[in-house]
């Protein structure tokens, strides 16, 4: 049986997380179909049809799906799911929102945030803030899974030639309605897919000082992240938070500036390829995971580093 | 009416219903809390890879559940809610966390007692059975438990009850017959209107939970705490998931300390080759 992947998009563009989720589906093996549910999203379906390895795109284009409200999207997916062995979605806030509803409607347990596929029914996933890795086997007829996208290679966005088939929409549940959205606009790469992340903590002392990190990040073509302490102190926006309860990232280079390295923060970044810590406290736990540690005052070291790269 | 509570008359569904009306109108909120290993504990994987070692480890209320209790109590203090019922599913020892929730302002507690490992779907089914009995207009849960890191139960409960769902919320505003909620989403914030009854799951930014005062801890000992079983709720504990093994994550190879920015840049360029 084929695998259904739910595409992540904003009705006009496909989110790259979809390519990593298709990567996880390829690791399971089998025909891969992609569901694009949204409003006015035909262009997204056309883009999706070109993804390498996707053999069919299902397009559910209806006003009810404009904002992926789970009350509308979950019954749609649960209705289609019985034709599939696996239903996969990225472990984004969107996927985490609707997919457990799908699992409950299908009366199966969901497997959250997988980081490895061992076989078609056995997967690895982190628990306890990444301090343990569980191997779980599912006997469910339909395996409902969210994918930690940083753990899987993206498949090529080009090279496929899937057909696009329209799926009939279901009625709007009327239980919830969209009011507004406030999406932070940024020219910098998305935190989830950036190759380089410069992240700041409480040590930055103010939101103005975060500018130091932005200047460095721009020089490296990277994104800026933050620890919970920095977010709580109002130095950085909530959506920049890296950690167990924020974003899980795994860039090539993660530069932690003024971050002590609490368990909850490490949960979000310790799979980065190279970790650099800049902290004036030589005992800070961040140095235990850092490949390169620099014990220094960040207000001197960061501008110097920006100059040097 | 579609999506409304099966037995409860849809008192809160009509757009004309004023939520802050007279005293005879009651609104009950159910809050689910979980007993988990304390968030400061660095857990260790058992030598036989059967799980993590929780013997003699400090247990606490899941941090997101504390935020859920706090929000329910604040809604009561604002006069939006009249009764706060807290529920937990787990071993007898979970009574400790329920007493904590009562000390924080819960009115009464229910423990669904089981020594079995219960997955999110079973928890959602048990909570559904409690919802059927208690008929709350609002259920508040944490967005995820810091042990399993599943982030599933609230959403599953919404699907099983047919209630509206607001996950990862950082703000709640009560309006007539509905709630306006702000959700933390990738890239920013989203505002939704939810018809009641509704399920909410809390994000970190929703509030700062209060501490229980000693007098309130004493008072909480006298508040009602009912203990029921999964059997009495008619829910079978089963799972389609089998835990094969639990391993420690791969250790990162030890790093080095560099003496200067120049050395750091040199290492990043020539050794790690990441810039």
Task: Give percent of chain B above pLDDT 90.
Answer: 86
Backbone φ and ψ of A46, nearest 5°: -65, -40
pLDDT band for position A224 (50/70/90)?
A: very high
- pLDDT of res. B14: 38
Block residue for tokens 């029921």: B228
CB–CB of A274 and B153 under 8 A?
no
Q: In order of start, what are the domains of chain B with their CATH numbers? A: 13-270 (3.40.50.620)
pLDDT band for position A134 (50/70/90)?
A: very high
Tell me what the mean pLDDT of segment A147-172 comes to.
96
Instruction: Give the CB-side neighbour count of residue A36, counting CA atoms within 13 A.
Output: 31
Task: Give percent of chain B above pLDDT 70.
Answer: 91
Q: How far apart are CA A294 and CA A280, in angstroms?
A: 8
- pLDDT of res. B4: 42
- pLDDT of res. B3: 39
Chain B residues in contact with A295 by the CB 8 A cut-off are 257
Q: Which CATH superfamily groups domain A2-166? A: HUPs (3.40.50.620)
B residues 57-116 closer than 8 Å to A (CB)? 64
Binding-site positions of A for FAD read 202, 227-228, 241-245, 258-265, 279
Q: Which of A13-17, A128-132, B14-18, B113-117 has the least mean pLDDT? A: B14-18
For residue A186, is pLDDT > 90?
Answer: no
Chain B residues in contact with A275 by the CB 8 A cut-off are 252, 255
Tell me what the mean pLDDT of segment A9-22 comes to.
97
B184 closest CB neighbour out of A104, A180, A238: A238
Tell me what the mean pLDDT of segment B254-263 comes to.
96
Binding-site positions of A read 202, 227-228, 241-245, 258-265, 279
Tell me what the mean pLDDT of segment A160-180 comes to.
96
- Residue A242 and residue B224 in contact, taking contact as beta carbons nearer than 8 Å: no
pLDDT tens per residue, range A192-221: 889 999 999 999 999 999 999 999 999 999
For residue A19, is pLDDT > 70?
Answer: yes
Q: Which of A13-17, A272-276, B186-190, B222-226 has the least mean pLDDT? A: B186-190
B residues 107-166 closer than 8 Å to A (CB)? 119-121, 124, 143-144, 146-160, 162-166
- pLDDT of res. A195: 95
- In which region does residue B273 sit, left (phi positive, over 0), alpha (psi from -120 to 50) or beta (all else)? left
For residue B12, is pLDDT > 70?
Answer: no
DSSP string, B207-250: --PPPPPHHHHHHHTTS-EEEE-TTTTT-----SEEEEEEEPPP
pLDDT band for position A178 (50/70/90)?
A: very high
pLDDT band for position B221 (50/70/90)?
A: very high
Tell me what the mean pLDDT of segment A54-67 comes to.
98
- pLDDT of res. B129: 98
ipTM (interface predicted TM): 0.94
Average pLDDT, chain B: 91
A305 closest CB neighbour out of B204, B243, B265: B265
- pLDDT of res. B69: 98
pLDDT tens per residue, range B35-92: 999 999 989 999 999 999 999 999 999 999 999 999 999 999 999 999 999 999 999 9
- CATH of region A196-308, choose from 3.40.50.360, 3.30.390.30, 3.40.50.2300, 3.40.50.1220: 3.40.50.1220
pLDDT tens per residue, range B122-146: 999 999 999 999 999 999 999 999 9
For residue A78, is pLDDT > 90?
Answer: yes
pLDDT band for position A292 (50/70/90)?
A: very high
pLDDT tens per residue, range A31-44: 999 999 999 999 99
Chain B residues in contact with A134 by the CB 8 A cut-off are 243, 245-246
- The answer to whether residue B239 neighbours chain A at the CB level (below 8 Å) is yes
For residue A260, is pLDDT > 50?
Answer: yes
pLDDT band for position A245 (50/70/90)?
A: confident
Domain boundaries, given as residue ranges, for chain A: 2-166, 196-308
- pLDDT of res. A95: 98
- Residue B140 and residue B31 in contact, taking contact as beta carbons nearer than 8 Å: yes
Task: Give percent of chain A above pLDDT 70.
Answer: 100
Ranges assigned E (strand) in chain B: 28-33, 35-37, 59-61, 83-90, 108-113, 138-142, 164-175, 178-185, 188-195, 198-202, 225-228, 241-247, 256-258
A116 is written with which tokens?
Answer: 């490895």
- pLDDT of res. A192: 85
For residue B22, is pLDDT > 70?
Answer: no
A32 is written with which tokens?
Answer: 């891969």
- Residue A290 and residue A276 in contact, taking contact as beta carbons nearer than 8 Å: yes
């Amino acid at each position: 049986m084929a695998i259904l992947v739910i595409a992540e998009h904003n009705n006009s563009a496909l989110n790259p997380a979809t390519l990593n989720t298709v990567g996880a589906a390829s690791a399971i093996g089998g025909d891969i179909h992609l569901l694009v549910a949204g409003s006015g999203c035909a262009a997204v379906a056309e883009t999706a049809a070109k993804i390498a390895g996707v053999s069919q795109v299902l397009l559910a284009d209806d006003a009810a799906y404009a904002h992926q409200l789970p009350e509308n999207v979950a019954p749609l997916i649960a209705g289609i799911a019985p034709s599939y062995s696996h239903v996969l979605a990225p472990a984004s806030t969107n996927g985490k929102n609707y997919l457990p509803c799908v699992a409950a409607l299908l009366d199966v347990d969901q497997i959250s945030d997988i980081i490895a596929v061992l076989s078609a029914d056995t997967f690895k996933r982190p628990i306890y803030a990444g301090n343990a890795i569980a191997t779980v086997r599912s006997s469910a007829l339909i395996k409902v899974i969210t994918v930690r996208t940083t753990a899987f290679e993206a498949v090529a966005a080009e090279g496929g030639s899937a057909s696009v088939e329209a799926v009939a929409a279901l009625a709007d549940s009327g239980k919830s309605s969209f009011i507004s959205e406030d999406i932070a606009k940024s020219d910098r790469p998305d935190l989830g897919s950036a190759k380089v992340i410069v992240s700041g903590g409480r040590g930055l002392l103010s939101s103005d000082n975060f500018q130091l990190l932005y200047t460095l990040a721009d020089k490296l073509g990277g994104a800026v992240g933050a620890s919970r302490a920095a977010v709580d102190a109002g130095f950085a926006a909530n959506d920049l938070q890296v950690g167990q309860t924020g974003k899980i990232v795994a860039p090539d280079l993660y530069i932690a500036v003024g971050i002590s390295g609490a368990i909850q923060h490490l949960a979000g970044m310790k799979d980065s390829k190279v970790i650099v810590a800049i902290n004036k406290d030589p005992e800070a736990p961040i140095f235990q995971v850092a490949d390169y540690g620099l014990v220094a005052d960040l207000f001197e070291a960061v501008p110097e580093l920006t100059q040097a790269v | 009416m579609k999506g409304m509570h099966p037995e409860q008359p849809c008192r809160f569904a009509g757009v004309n219903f004023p939520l802050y009306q007279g005293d005879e109108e009651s609104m009950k909120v159910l809050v689910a809390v979980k007993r988990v290993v304390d968030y400061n504990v660095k857990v260790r994987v058992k030598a036989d890879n059967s799980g993590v070692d929780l013997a003699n480890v400090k247990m606490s209320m899941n941090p997101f559940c504390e935020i859920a209790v706090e929000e329910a109590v604040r809604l009561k203090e604002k006069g939006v809610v009249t009764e706060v019922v807290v529920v937990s599913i787990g071993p007898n020892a979970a009574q400790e966390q329920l007493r904590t929730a009562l000390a924080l302002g819960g009115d009464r507690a229910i423990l669904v007692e089981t020594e079995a490992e219960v997955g999110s779907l079973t928890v959602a089914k048990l909570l559904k059975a409690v919802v059927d009995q208690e008929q709350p207009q609002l259920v508040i849960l944490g967005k995820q438990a810091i042990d399993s890191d599943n982030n599933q139960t609230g959403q599953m409960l919404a699907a099983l009850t047919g209630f509206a769902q607001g996950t990862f919320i950082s703000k709640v505003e009560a309006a007539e017959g509905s709630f306006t909620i702000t959700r933390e989403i990738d890239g920013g914030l989203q505002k939704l209107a939810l018809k009641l009854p509704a399920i909410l799951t809390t994000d970190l930014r929703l509030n700062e939970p209060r501490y229980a005062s000693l007098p309130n801890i004493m008072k909480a000992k006298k508040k009602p705490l009912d203990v029921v079983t999964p059997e009495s709720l008619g829910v079978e504990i089963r799972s389609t998931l089998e835990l094969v093994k639990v391993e420690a994550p791969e250790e990162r190879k030890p790093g080095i300390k560099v003496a200067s920015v120049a050395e750091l840049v040199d290492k990043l360029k020539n050794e790690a080759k990441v810039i």
